[in-house]
Amino acid sequence: MATPLEQLVTRNWNNAVPMSALFELTFVCNHACSFCYNCPTGQKEMNTAEVFDALRKMAEFNVLYLTLSGGEPLVRRDFFEIAARARELGFALRIYTNGYLIDEAMAKKIKQIANPVEIEISLHGGTPETHDRLTCVPGSFRKIVSAVRFLRAEGIKVNFKTPVTRDNQGEVLEMERLAHELDVRIQFDTVITPRDDGDKDPLRLMATDDFLEKFWTDDAYRTARKEEVPLPRHDGPGEAVCGTGRSSFAIDPYGNIYPCVQLRRKAGNIKELENLRDMWRSSPVLIEVRKIAVDVAQKTLKTVQNGNQCGFCMGVAEVQLGDPTAIYPQIAKNAEYRAKAYNAWKERTGRSDEDAGGVQTKCAM
Amino acid sequence: MDLNTVLSKTPDAAYRVYDGLATIVLPSRSEVNVLNPVASLVWDAIDGRRTLAEILESVLRDYEVPREEATRDLLEFVNALRAQGMVN
Protein backbone atom coordinates (compact mmCIF):
# COMPACT_ATOMS: atom_id res chain seq x y z
CA MET A 1 0.00 0.00 0.00
CA ALA A 2 1.53 3.28 -1.14
CA THR A 3 1.88 6.05 1.43
CA PRO A 4 0.04 9.35 0.85
CA LEU A 5 3.38 10.87 -0.20
CA GLU A 6 4.07 8.08 -2.69
CA GLN A 7 0.55 8.42 -4.09
CA LEU A 8 0.99 12.17 -4.48
CA VAL A 9 4.39 11.86 -6.15
CA THR A 10 3.05 9.23 -8.57
CA ARG A 11 0.00 11.34 -9.41
CA ASN A 12 2.13 14.43 -10.01
CA TRP A 13 4.58 12.41 -12.10
CA ASN A 14 1.80 10.98 -14.27
CA ASN A 15 0.18 14.38 -14.71
CA ALA A 16 3.52 16.12 -15.35
CA VAL A 17 3.19 18.38 -12.31
CA PRO A 18 6.75 19.36 -11.40
CA MET A 19 7.54 19.36 -7.70
CA SER A 20 11.19 20.29 -8.10
CA ALA A 21 13.51 22.53 -10.06
CA LEU A 22 17.23 23.09 -10.31
CA PHE A 23 18.44 26.66 -10.53
CA GLU A 24 21.99 27.26 -11.76
CA LEU A 25 22.66 30.63 -10.16
CA THR A 26 26.00 31.12 -11.86
CA PHE A 27 28.51 29.34 -14.05
CA VAL A 28 31.37 30.99 -12.16
CA CYS A 29 33.30 28.42 -10.16
CA ASN A 30 36.34 28.43 -7.92
CA HIS A 31 37.30 24.94 -9.10
CA ALA A 32 38.43 23.81 -12.54
CA CYS A 33 37.35 20.16 -12.72
CA SER A 34 38.39 18.69 -16.04
CA PHE A 35 35.13 16.73 -16.40
CA CYS A 36 32.73 19.58 -15.61
CA TYR A 37 29.78 19.68 -18.00
CA ASN A 38 28.99 23.41 -17.69
CA CYS A 39 29.54 25.57 -20.74
CA PRO A 40 29.33 29.30 -20.00
CA THR A 41 28.47 31.34 -23.10
CA GLY A 42 29.66 34.72 -21.86
CA GLN A 43 26.11 36.11 -21.73
CA LYS A 44 25.16 38.27 -18.76
CA GLU A 45 23.98 36.17 -15.85
CA MET A 46 20.78 37.14 -14.05
CA ASN A 47 21.11 39.86 -11.45
CA THR A 48 19.51 39.75 -8.01
CA ALA A 49 16.22 41.30 -9.13
CA GLU A 50 15.94 38.89 -12.06
CA VAL A 51 16.67 35.93 -9.81
CA PHE A 52 14.02 37.13 -7.35
CA ASP A 53 11.52 37.39 -10.19
CA ALA A 54 12.39 33.87 -11.34
CA LEU A 55 11.91 32.58 -7.79
CA ARG A 56 8.50 34.25 -7.62
CA LYS A 57 7.42 32.61 -10.86
CA MET A 58 8.59 29.19 -9.68
CA ALA A 59 6.77 29.63 -6.36
CA GLU A 60 3.58 30.62 -8.21
CA PHE A 61 4.07 27.50 -10.30
CA ASN A 62 3.96 25.51 -7.05
CA VAL A 63 7.50 24.12 -7.15
CA LEU A 64 8.34 22.71 -3.71
CA TYR A 65 11.95 21.54 -3.89
CA LEU A 66 14.48 23.98 -5.28
CA THR A 67 18.14 23.09 -5.78
CA LEU A 68 20.49 26.06 -5.85
CA SER A 69 23.39 25.01 -8.03
CA GLY A 70 26.10 26.37 -10.29
CA GLY A 71 28.95 26.63 -11.21
CA GLU A 72 29.52 27.27 -7.57
CA PRO A 73 26.44 29.01 -6.14
CA LEU A 74 28.21 30.26 -3.01
CA VAL A 75 30.50 32.52 -5.04
CA ARG A 76 27.53 34.81 -5.73
CA ARG A 77 27.75 37.77 -3.36
CA ASP A 78 23.95 37.82 -3.16
CA PHE A 79 23.66 34.09 -2.42
CA PHE A 80 22.18 34.59 1.04
CA GLU A 81 19.74 37.23 -0.20
CA ILE A 82 18.58 34.70 -2.78
CA ALA A 83 18.38 31.89 -0.22
CA ALA A 84 16.40 34.09 2.17
CA ARG A 85 13.95 35.07 -0.54
CA ALA A 86 13.58 31.44 -1.59
CA ARG A 87 12.73 30.44 1.98
CA GLU A 88 10.22 33.28 2.29
CA LEU A 89 8.57 31.92 -0.84
CA GLY A 90 8.17 28.52 0.80
CA PHE A 91 10.72 26.43 -1.10
CA ALA A 92 12.45 23.46 0.49
CA LEU A 93 16.06 24.12 -0.47
CA ARG A 94 18.90 21.91 -1.54
CA ILE A 95 22.31 23.40 -2.23
CA TYR A 96 24.77 21.80 -4.61
CA THR A 97 28.24 23.13 -3.87
CA ASN A 98 31.91 22.17 -3.92
CA GLY A 99 32.05 23.23 -0.26
CA TYR A 100 35.27 25.18 -0.69
CA LEU A 101 33.96 28.43 0.83
CA ILE A 102 32.14 26.90 3.78
CA ASP A 103 33.85 27.76 7.06
CA GLU A 104 32.24 27.69 10.50
CA ALA A 105 30.62 31.11 10.13
CA MET A 106 29.20 30.29 6.72
CA ALA A 107 27.87 26.94 7.92
CA LYS A 108 25.96 28.78 10.66
CA LYS A 109 24.66 31.30 8.14
CA ILE A 110 23.53 28.50 5.81
CA LYS A 111 21.61 26.90 8.66
CA GLN A 112 20.11 30.17 9.82
CA ILE A 113 19.14 31.62 6.45
CA ALA A 114 18.78 28.78 3.95
CA ASN A 115 17.95 25.96 6.39
CA PRO A 116 18.36 23.45 3.57
CA VAL A 117 16.88 19.99 3.47
CA GLU A 118 20.34 18.88 2.44
CA ILE A 119 23.61 20.00 0.93
CA GLU A 120 25.29 18.05 -1.81
CA ILE A 121 29.05 18.36 -2.05
CA SER A 122 31.25 17.03 -4.81
CA LEU A 123 33.97 14.69 -3.57
CA HIS A 124 36.53 13.60 -6.13
CA GLY A 125 38.95 11.47 -4.19
CA GLY A 126 39.69 9.72 -0.94
CA THR A 127 43.02 11.51 -0.58
CA PRO A 128 43.99 15.18 -0.85
CA GLU A 129 46.30 14.38 -3.77
CA THR A 130 43.58 12.88 -5.94
CA HIS A 131 40.77 15.29 -5.02
CA ASP A 132 42.97 18.36 -5.44
CA ARG A 133 44.36 17.09 -8.75
CA LEU A 134 40.86 16.67 -10.16
CA THR A 135 39.58 20.04 -8.93
CA CYS A 136 42.89 21.74 -9.87
CA VAL A 137 42.72 23.58 -6.53
CA PRO A 138 45.37 22.76 -3.92
CA GLY A 139 43.88 22.44 -0.46
CA SER A 140 40.33 21.80 -1.71
CA PHE A 141 40.11 18.34 -0.10
CA ARG A 142 41.06 19.68 3.34
CA LYS A 143 38.55 22.52 2.89
CA ILE A 144 35.60 20.30 2.08
CA VAL A 145 36.33 17.90 4.91
CA SER A 146 36.22 20.80 7.36
CA ALA A 147 33.13 22.21 5.58
CA VAL A 148 31.30 18.94 6.14
CA ARG A 149 32.26 18.93 9.82
CA PHE A 150 30.91 22.48 10.24
CA LEU A 151 27.69 21.64 8.41
CA ARG A 152 27.11 18.47 10.39
CA ALA A 153 27.73 20.41 13.62
CA GLU A 154 24.80 22.58 12.55
CA GLY A 155 22.68 19.49 12.01
CA ILE A 156 22.59 19.92 8.24
CA LYS A 157 22.27 16.74 6.21
CA VAL A 158 25.13 16.36 3.73
CA ASN A 159 25.49 14.09 0.72
CA PHE A 160 28.69 13.56 -1.20
CA LYS A 161 28.26 13.27 -4.95
CA THR A 162 31.11 11.51 -6.64
CA PRO A 163 31.64 10.98 -10.33
CA VAL A 164 33.86 7.90 -10.56
CA THR A 165 36.72 8.42 -12.99
CA ARG A 166 39.80 6.39 -13.82
CA ASP A 167 41.71 8.85 -11.63
CA ASN A 168 39.72 8.16 -8.45
CA GLN A 169 38.32 4.66 -9.03
CA GLY A 170 41.04 3.20 -6.82
CA GLU A 171 39.81 5.30 -3.91
CA VAL A 172 36.11 4.49 -3.94
CA LEU A 173 36.32 2.49 -0.74
CA GLU A 174 38.41 5.21 0.93
CA MET A 175 35.80 7.79 -0.06
CA GLU A 176 33.12 5.59 1.38
CA ARG A 177 35.05 5.28 4.64
CA LEU A 178 35.50 9.04 4.75
CA ALA A 179 31.78 9.58 4.24
CA HIS A 180 31.02 7.15 7.02
CA GLU A 181 33.48 8.87 9.34
CA LEU A 182 31.92 12.27 8.57
CA ASP A 183 28.38 10.91 8.95
CA VAL A 184 27.30 11.76 5.41
CA ARG A 185 25.79 9.73 2.60
CA ILE A 186 27.83 9.21 -0.56
CA GLN A 187 26.50 8.56 -4.02
CA PHE A 188 28.83 7.29 -6.72
CA ASP A 189 28.06 7.96 -10.36
CA THR A 190 29.88 5.64 -12.71
CA VAL A 191 28.70 7.41 -15.86
CA ILE A 192 30.74 10.41 -16.97
CA THR A 193 28.91 12.82 -19.25
CA PRO A 194 30.11 14.99 -22.13
CA ARG A 195 30.05 18.76 -21.74
CA ASP A 196 26.81 20.56 -22.49
CA ASP A 197 28.24 21.81 -25.81
CA GLY A 198 28.91 18.24 -26.96
CA ASP A 199 32.64 18.23 -26.17
CA LYS A 200 33.45 14.60 -25.44
CA ASP A 201 36.80 15.25 -23.79
CA PRO A 202 35.54 14.36 -20.26
CA LEU A 203 34.75 10.84 -21.51
CA ARG A 204 38.43 9.96 -21.60
CA LEU A 205 38.21 9.97 -17.79
CA MET A 206 35.57 7.24 -17.72
CA ALA A 207 36.37 4.51 -15.20
CA THR A 208 38.00 1.43 -16.71
CA ASP A 209 35.99 -1.64 -17.69
CA ASP A 210 37.83 -3.70 -15.10
CA PHE A 211 36.80 -1.32 -12.38
CA LEU A 212 33.17 -1.13 -13.53
CA GLU A 213 32.93 -4.89 -13.51
CA LYS A 214 34.31 -5.00 -9.98
CA PHE A 215 32.08 -2.15 -8.82
CA TRP A 216 28.90 -3.91 -9.92
CA THR A 217 29.81 -7.51 -9.19
CA ASP A 218 32.26 -7.55 -6.28
CA ASP A 219 30.86 -7.76 -2.75
CA ALA A 220 33.56 -5.35 -1.55
CA TYR A 221 31.59 -2.58 -3.30
CA ARG A 222 28.18 -3.63 -2.08
CA THR A 223 27.69 -0.74 0.30
CA ALA A 224 29.26 1.72 -2.14
CA ARG A 225 26.70 0.89 -4.83
CA LYS A 226 23.85 1.04 -2.27
CA GLU A 227 22.14 -2.05 -3.65
CA GLU A 228 22.49 -5.66 -2.58
CA VAL A 229 21.97 -6.45 -6.20
CA PRO A 230 21.65 -4.01 -9.13
CA LEU A 231 17.92 -3.47 -9.32
CA PRO A 232 16.23 -3.80 -12.70
CA ARG A 233 13.88 -1.16 -14.00
CA HIS A 234 10.21 -1.94 -14.45
CA ASP A 235 8.57 0.66 -16.66
CA GLY A 236 4.85 -0.02 -16.71
CA PRO A 237 2.66 0.69 -19.77
CA GLY A 238 2.89 4.35 -20.76
CA GLU A 239 5.56 5.17 -18.18
CA ALA A 240 8.43 7.50 -19.00
CA VAL A 241 12.10 6.64 -18.61
CA CYS A 242 12.76 9.59 -16.31
CA GLY A 243 11.26 12.81 -15.05
CA THR A 244 12.72 15.10 -17.70
CA GLY A 245 10.20 17.85 -18.51
CA ARG A 246 7.77 16.09 -16.25
CA SER A 247 8.67 16.01 -12.57
CA SER A 248 11.23 18.80 -12.70
CA PHE A 249 13.03 21.33 -14.86
CA ALA A 250 16.24 23.35 -14.82
CA ILE A 251 17.08 27.01 -15.27
CA ASP A 252 20.55 28.25 -16.24
CA PRO A 253 22.16 31.52 -15.08
CA TYR A 254 20.80 33.30 -18.17
CA GLY A 255 17.22 32.33 -17.41
CA ASN A 256 16.92 29.61 -20.05
CA ILE A 257 14.57 26.81 -19.08
CA TYR A 258 15.39 23.19 -19.89
CA PRO A 259 13.47 19.93 -19.35
CA CYS A 260 16.22 18.91 -16.89
CA VAL A 261 19.79 19.74 -16.02
CA GLN A 262 21.15 17.26 -18.55
CA LEU A 263 18.83 17.68 -21.53
CA ARG A 264 19.65 21.15 -22.80
CA ARG A 265 16.77 21.77 -25.18
CA LYS A 266 15.62 25.30 -24.49
CA ALA A 267 11.91 25.44 -23.68
CA GLY A 268 11.80 29.16 -22.92
CA ASN A 269 13.39 31.91 -20.87
CA ILE A 270 11.97 32.71 -17.48
CA LYS A 271 12.76 36.42 -17.87
CA GLU A 272 10.43 36.59 -20.87
CA LEU A 273 7.52 34.60 -19.46
CA GLU A 274 4.53 35.94 -17.58
CA ASN A 275 4.19 32.59 -15.85
CA LEU A 276 5.56 29.08 -16.10
CA ARG A 277 2.21 27.34 -16.22
CA ASP A 278 1.34 28.25 -19.82
CA MET A 279 4.78 27.37 -21.12
CA TRP A 280 4.79 24.08 -19.22
CA ARG A 281 1.59 22.92 -20.91
CA SER A 282 2.16 24.26 -24.41
CA SER A 283 5.91 24.19 -25.04
CA PRO A 284 6.59 22.02 -28.13
CA VAL A 285 9.97 21.15 -26.65
CA LEU A 286 8.49 19.81 -23.44
CA ILE A 287 5.68 17.99 -25.21
CA GLU A 288 8.18 16.28 -27.49
CA VAL A 289 10.60 15.45 -24.68
CA ARG A 290 7.84 13.83 -22.61
CA LYS A 291 6.86 11.73 -25.61
CA ILE A 292 10.44 10.65 -26.29
CA ALA A 293 10.85 9.75 -22.60
CA VAL A 294 7.91 7.38 -22.91
CA ASP A 295 9.23 5.94 -26.18
CA VAL A 296 12.65 5.27 -24.65
CA ALA A 297 11.08 3.35 -21.75
CA GLN A 298 8.53 1.50 -23.85
CA LYS A 299 10.55 0.80 -27.00
CA THR A 300 14.30 1.39 -26.74
CA LEU A 301 14.95 -0.14 -23.35
CA LYS A 302 12.58 -3.03 -23.93
CA THR A 303 14.45 -4.08 -27.06
CA VAL A 304 18.16 -3.45 -26.42
CA GLN A 305 20.35 -5.90 -24.58
CA ASN A 306 20.32 -5.31 -20.81
CA GLY A 307 17.83 -2.48 -21.32
CA ASN A 308 16.26 -3.15 -17.94
CA GLN A 309 19.59 -2.38 -16.26
CA CYS A 310 20.09 0.99 -17.97
CA GLY A 311 19.85 4.13 -15.81
CA PHE A 312 19.32 5.84 -19.12
CA CYS A 313 19.76 9.61 -19.58
CA MET A 314 18.25 11.20 -22.69
CA GLY A 315 20.40 14.28 -22.18
CA VAL A 316 23.65 12.35 -22.35
CA ALA A 317 22.42 10.40 -25.40
CA GLU A 318 21.51 13.61 -27.19
CA VAL A 319 24.66 15.56 -26.46
CA GLN A 320 26.95 12.60 -27.10
CA LEU A 321 25.28 10.89 -30.04
CA GLY A 322 22.81 13.47 -31.33
CA ASP A 323 19.90 11.17 -30.59
CA PRO A 324 18.09 11.17 -27.22
CA THR A 325 17.05 7.55 -27.73
CA ALA A 326 20.48 6.15 -28.62
CA ILE A 327 22.32 3.85 -26.26
CA TYR A 328 25.67 5.44 -25.38
CA PRO A 329 28.72 3.30 -24.62
CA GLN A 330 29.02 4.27 -20.93
CA ILE A 331 25.50 3.19 -20.15
CA ALA A 332 25.80 -0.01 -22.19
CA LYS A 333 28.96 -0.95 -20.29
CA ASN A 334 27.43 -0.24 -16.88
CA ALA A 335 24.27 -2.14 -17.84
CA GLU A 336 26.31 -5.13 -18.98
CA TYR A 337 28.01 -5.48 -15.60
CA ARG A 338 24.83 -4.70 -13.67
CA ALA A 339 23.05 -7.47 -15.58
CA LYS A 340 25.94 -9.85 -14.95
CA ALA A 341 25.70 -9.20 -11.20
CA TYR A 342 21.94 -9.47 -11.25
CA ASN A 343 21.90 -12.76 -13.17
CA ALA A 344 24.56 -14.23 -10.88
CA TRP A 345 22.47 -13.23 -7.87
CA LYS A 346 19.39 -14.90 -9.33
CA GLU A 347 21.32 -18.07 -10.07
CA ARG A 348 22.95 -18.13 -6.65
CA THR A 349 19.84 -17.46 -4.63
CA GLY A 350 17.16 -18.94 -6.84
CA ARG A 351 15.16 -15.78 -6.22
CA SER A 352 13.09 -13.98 -8.81
CA ASP A 353 12.90 -10.41 -10.10
CA GLU A 354 10.19 -9.63 -7.58
CA ASP A 355 12.46 -10.64 -4.70
CA ALA A 356 15.16 -8.12 -5.55
CA GLY A 357 13.78 -5.70 -3.02
CA GLY A 358 12.51 -3.00 -5.33
CA VAL A 359 13.11 -1.48 -8.70
CA GLN A 360 15.65 0.97 -10.01
CA THR A 361 14.85 4.52 -8.99
CA LYS A 362 14.15 6.76 -11.94
CA CYS A 363 16.07 9.97 -12.39
CA ALA A 364 13.82 12.84 -11.40
CA MET A 365 16.27 15.65 -12.06
CA MET B 1 -4.90 25.26 23.75
CA ASP B 2 -8.49 26.36 23.06
CA LEU B 3 -10.49 27.86 20.23
CA ASN B 4 -9.23 31.37 21.01
CA THR B 5 -5.68 30.33 20.21
CA VAL B 6 -3.95 31.91 17.22
CA LEU B 7 -1.23 29.80 15.66
CA SER B 8 1.52 30.48 13.12
CA LYS B 9 3.27 28.05 10.86
CA THR B 10 6.91 27.56 11.79
CA PRO B 11 9.13 29.45 9.35
CA ASP B 12 11.10 26.20 9.03
CA ALA B 13 8.29 24.49 7.20
CA ALA B 14 8.35 24.54 3.41
CA TYR B 15 5.06 23.57 1.86
CA ARG B 16 2.86 23.54 -1.21
CA VAL B 17 -0.68 22.35 -1.84
CA TYR B 18 -1.18 19.76 -4.59
CA ASP B 19 -4.72 18.66 -5.45
CA GLY B 20 -5.92 20.14 -2.16
CA LEU B 21 -3.33 18.20 -0.17
CA ALA B 22 -0.76 20.19 1.80
CA THR B 23 2.71 18.72 1.36
CA ILE B 24 5.00 19.91 4.13
CA VAL B 25 8.76 19.55 4.35
CA LEU B 26 10.54 20.04 7.65
CA PRO B 27 14.26 20.41 6.88
CA SER B 28 15.38 19.97 10.45
CA ARG B 29 13.70 16.58 10.66
CA SER B 30 14.19 15.47 7.04
CA GLU B 31 10.49 14.75 6.97
CA VAL B 32 7.76 15.16 4.38
CA ASN B 33 4.13 15.06 5.46
CA VAL B 34 1.14 14.91 3.15
CA LEU B 35 -2.02 15.98 4.97
CA ASN B 36 -5.54 14.80 4.21
CA PRO B 37 -8.00 17.34 2.69
CA VAL B 38 -9.48 18.56 6.00
CA ALA B 39 -6.10 18.83 7.69
CA SER B 40 -4.81 20.65 4.60
CA LEU B 41 -7.60 23.18 4.89
CA VAL B 42 -6.68 23.77 8.53
CA TRP B 43 -2.96 24.01 7.74
CA ASP B 44 -3.56 26.49 4.95
CA ALA B 45 -5.70 28.63 7.25
CA ILE B 46 -3.09 28.85 10.04
CA ASP B 47 -1.70 32.28 9.35
CA GLY B 48 -0.86 33.98 12.65
CA ARG B 49 -4.10 36.01 12.49
CA ARG B 50 -7.08 33.67 12.51
CA THR B 51 -8.24 32.03 15.74
CA LEU B 52 -8.91 28.32 15.82
CA ALA B 53 -12.60 29.20 16.17
CA GLU B 54 -12.50 31.00 12.82
CA ILE B 55 -10.67 28.06 11.25
CA LEU B 56 -13.28 25.71 12.70
CA GLU B 57 -16.01 27.73 10.96
CA SER B 58 -14.19 27.29 7.62
CA VAL B 59 -14.08 23.55 8.18
CA LEU B 60 -17.78 23.43 9.04
CA ARG B 61 -18.62 25.45 5.94
CA ASP B 62 -16.82 22.96 3.70
CA TYR B 63 -17.56 19.68 5.44
CA GLU B 64 -20.71 18.20 6.91
CA VAL B 65 -19.51 17.10 10.30
CA PRO B 66 -20.98 17.62 13.79
CA ARG B 67 -19.50 20.73 15.47
CA GLU B 68 -18.46 18.82 18.56
CA GLU B 69 -16.59 16.20 16.57
CA ALA B 70 -14.95 18.83 14.36
CA THR B 71 -13.81 20.81 17.41
CA ARG B 72 -12.29 17.74 19.01
CA ASP B 73 -10.51 16.72 15.80
CA LEU B 74 -9.26 20.24 15.18
CA LEU B 75 -7.74 20.60 18.65
CA GLU B 76 -6.23 17.15 18.45
CA PHE B 77 -4.70 17.95 15.07
CA VAL B 78 -3.20 21.32 16.00
CA ASN B 79 -1.81 19.83 19.21
CA ALA B 80 -0.08 17.20 17.09
CA LEU B 81 1.25 19.93 14.79
CA ARG B 82 2.62 21.81 17.77
CA ALA B 83 4.20 18.69 19.25
CA GLN B 84 6.00 18.17 15.94
CA GLY B 85 7.23 21.76 15.87
CA MET B 86 5.20 22.60 12.76
CA VAL B 87 3.25 25.43 14.36
CA ASN B 88 3.80 27.74 17.28
- Cβ atoms A162, A188 nearer than 8 A: yes
pLDDT band of A358, cuts 50, 70, 90: low
CA distance A43 to A137: 26
Q: Residue A355: pLDDT above 70?
A: no
> For residue B15, which residues of chain A lie inside 8 Å, CB to CB?
64, 90
What's the pLDDT score for residue A354?
63
> For residue A93, which residues of chain B lie inside 8 Å, CB to CB?
14, 27
- pLDDT tens string A79-132: 999 999 999 999 999 999 999 999 999 999 999 999 999 999 999 999 999 999
A19, B18: Cβ pair inside 8 Å? yes
Interface test with A, best of B9, B10, B28, B36 (most A CBs within 10 A): B28
B23-42 residues touching A, CB cutoff 8 A: 23, 25, 27-28, 30, 32-34, 36
Map residue A94 onto helix, strand or coil: strand
What's the pLDDT score for residue A202?
86
Q: Residue A353: pLDDT above 80?
A: no
Query: Quick one: which of A95, A50, A92, A49 has its CA closest to A75?
Result: A95
Which of A4-8, A24-28, A143-147 is least confident? A4-8
> Which residue in chain A is spatially nearest to B30 when comparing CA positions?
A117
Interface test with B, best of A10, A14, A15, A64 (most B CBs within 10 A): A64
CA distance A123 to A107: 18
Tell me how close the Cα of A184 comes to any Cα of chain B, in angstroms: 14
* Better pLDDT: A354 or A121: A121
Tell me how close the Cα of B46 comes to any Cα of chain A, in angstroms: 15
For B12, which of A65, A91, A115 is closest by C-beta distance? A115
User: Is the CATH number of domain B14-83 3.40.1180.10?
Assistant: no
Tell me how close the Cα of A27 comes to any Cα of chain B, in angstroms: 27
Asked if B3 is an interface residue toward chain A (Cβ–Cβ < 8 A), one would say no
Which of A8-17, A76-85, A345-354, B25-34 is least confident? A345-354
What's the pLDDT score for residue A228?
79
What's the pLDDT score for residue A69?
96
Residues in chain B: 88
Tell me how close the Cα of A272 comes to any Cα of chain B, in angstroms: 25
pTM of the model: 0.92
Q: Residue A250: pLDDT above 90?
A: yes
B14, A91: Cβ pair inside 8 Å? yes
CA distance A117 to A94: 6
Burial level of A16, CB count in 10 A (0-12/13-18/19+)?
Answer: middle
3-state per-residue secondary structure call for A174-211: HHHHHHHHHCCEEEEECCCCCCCCCCCHHHHHECCHHH
What's the pLDDT score for residue A201?
87
CA distance A6 to A83: 28
For A92, which of B18, B19, B27 is closest by C-beta distance? B27
- pLDDT tens string A14-71: 899 999 999 999 999 888 877 777 778 888 999 999 999 999 999 999 999 999 999 9
B23, A91: Cβ pair inside 8 Å? no
What's the pLDDT score for residue A337?
94
pLDDT band of A256, cuts 50, 70, 90: very high
**Average pLDDT of chain A, as a whole number:** 92
What's the pLDDT score for residue B56?
96
What's the pLDDT score for residue A35?
72
- pLDDT tens string A181-238: 999 999 999 998 888 888 888 888 899 999 999 999 998 998 898 887 888 888 888 8
Report the alpha-carbon angle A345-A349-A350, nearest 5: 105
B27, A117: Cβ pair inside 8 Å? yes
Segments in A120-168 forming alpha helices (H): 128-135, 140-153
What's the pLDDT score for residue A32?
80
CA distance A247 to A260: 9
Q: Residue B11: pLDDT above 90?
A: no
Interface test with B, best of A3, A5, A95 (most B CBs within 10 A): A5
> For residue B25, which residues of chain A lie inside 8 Å, CB to CB?
64-65, 92, 117
pLDDT band of A365, cuts 50, 70, 90: low
Map residue A293 onto helix, strand or coil: helix
Asked if A90 is an interface residue toward chain B (Cβ–Cβ < 8 A), one would say yes
Q: Residue A148: pLDDT above 90?
A: yes
What's the pLDDT score for residue A309?
92
